[in-house]
Structure 1
């Protein structure tokens, strides 16, 4: 996979400190791309960044930066090409994203953005108060829309690709999933509108089924059942689907893909 200009690309990934986001970062690092990893926890991002600079990823130069764009002591180059920049952002407060990004020192060109961050809090409509709705809508939908808006100049410059990691709940809502499903239905609407508005960009929605992640552990706890990761898809499997969509030749776009175990 190469950037639009024929070289290695630069990709920003939200929710990069774990699950599908971290697995996608690993695959892109394997291909030598520059990465911008976004998450809430500086410590967890640093752990992922360190992992990308060792073992199979040793060829990738690792540079950890804070939200102000300053290098963090202790991170050191582990190779001769590529770079990993980490930016700490709280997607629960989308109104603050513009100011945070203004000092983050992001690249002027982005070949792709993978929106992988998300939260879930199950409950029936009778018990989901306004805060439950607002929290899930802010992180899962409003932050994705605002971040996309802010990154559009960099995406346009590279004629890039936007991938929204949606959910089966973005296609069908079930009992107990109303707020989460509403946020994911909205995410599909965001993707579909963006695709028509920005014809020089490629836009993909990925709808994974149950995946072995910490989010799934929380879901199973809320459902009152055991978390048995071997019964679910791995995050690496979903990440491969995402990267395959990114690697699709430029004469086509994978617009929507459902992934089931």
Structure 2
């Protein structure tokens, strides 16, 4: 497949819906977007909706499949890598099974590390940027969130280390949203026993996309290292 090299290229994981879709649409105004996701139908639909985009179907639970998926793109340029894909569910430590720990860490951390490793040469060449959509849970762990917070604490450690290792070559930004109005939030609220769901009290995916845009549009001598975005009404 042919990817244009005359405009900046951004690879966005989890780009077929929710926060990732909003990021792809915002960056898609002046970037070629590689729309990465697991559902062929959703990925193709998202790519078709953008001015310039390439679909990439990849299951981040399958780490060995990531190099082959990237290889088929024959990437010549990469300016922005947005790690947005993630999984989340609530489980008390007493009930959490080893396979659940493994899946959450694989998607939320191990795949991030592998995708970063594979694309760093192109990102360095472009003096590009890695943006990780983390979470407020990357700072605070609450009841039933040991697994999810564990992955997000680890993701923060990863981005902090990467930032220093690549300082002067690749900019690294960590975005920490609070609760966002997405399908994942609906599921989490159901798990917490909420009888109704009102998405208007949560941060919109478009707001997160605008924070990503802010980081991307900084002048080359500046970097946004970390941003926290929370609903106005959300309590800690």
> Fold conserved (TM > 0.5)?
yes
The partner residue of 1:222 within 171, 186, 191 is 191
Confirm whether residue 256 of structure 1 aligns to residue 226 of structure 2. Answer: yes
1:243 counterpart residue number:
213
Q: Deviations over 1:54-76 (max 9, x none)?
A: xxxxxx2xxxxxxxxxxxxxxxx
Q: Distance in 2 between matches of 1:102 and 1:50?
A: 22
Q: Which whole-Å deviations, capped at 9, do the CAs of 1:237-259 have from their partners, x for residues lacking one? A: 11101111111111111111100
Q: What does residue 16 of structure 2 align with? A: 17
Alignment of 1:9-48 (within 5 A): 9-30=8-29, 32-48=30-46
What secondary structure is seen at the aligned counterpart in 2 of 1:176? Answer: coil
Secondary structure of 1:181's aligned partner: helix
Residue from 134, 159, 179 that aligns with 1:191: 159
CA-CA distance at 1:152 after TM superposition: 0.8
- Name the SS for the 2:85 alignment partner: coil
Question: Residue in 2 aligned with 1:145?
Answer: 113
Q: 1:89 matched to which residue of 2?
A: 58
Matched, 1:103 2:64: no
TM-score by length of 2: 0.92
**Structure 1 residue 95: Cα displacement:** 2.4
Answer whether contact 1:15 1:21 (CA < 8 A) is retained.
yes
Q: Distance in 2 between matches of 1:108 and 1:8?
A: 12
Q: TM-score, normalised by structure 1?
A: 0.83
3-state SS, counterpart of residue 16 of structure 2: coil
CA distance in 1, matches of 2:217, 2:148: 29
Superposed structure 1 runs of 4+ greater than 4 Å apart: none
1:99-156 deviation per Cα after TM superposition (whole angstroms, max 9, x unaligned): 2222233x22211101000000111101111111111100000000000001111111
Alignment partners' CA distance in 2, 1:140 and 1:35: 21
Q: How many angstroms apart in 2 are the aligned matches of 1:185 and 1:18?
A: 24
Q: CA deviation at 1:213?
A: 0.6
* SS of equivalent to 2:110: helix
Give the secondary structure class of the aligned counterpart of 1:212.
Answer: coil
For the 8 Å contact 2:56–2:69, the answer to whether it is kept is no
Structure 1 CA distance, aligned partners of 2:230 and 2:32? 30
- The one of 187, 200, 206 aligned to 2:175: 206
Any idea what the Cα deviations from partners look like across 1:215-236, whole Å, max 9, x if unmatched? 1111111111132211111100
Structure 2 unaligned residues grouped into runs of 5+: 232-236
Which stretches in structure 1 are left out of the alignment for 5+ residues?
A: 53-59, 61-82
Number of matched pairs: 225
Distance in 2 (CA, whole Å) between partners of 1:46 and 1:96 is 19
For the aligned residue pairs, the C-alpha RMSD in angstroms reads 1.3
Select which of 48, 51, 56 maps to 2:49: 51
Cα distance in structure 1, aligned partners of 2:65 and 2:191: 30
Deviation at 1:89, TM superposition (A): 0.4
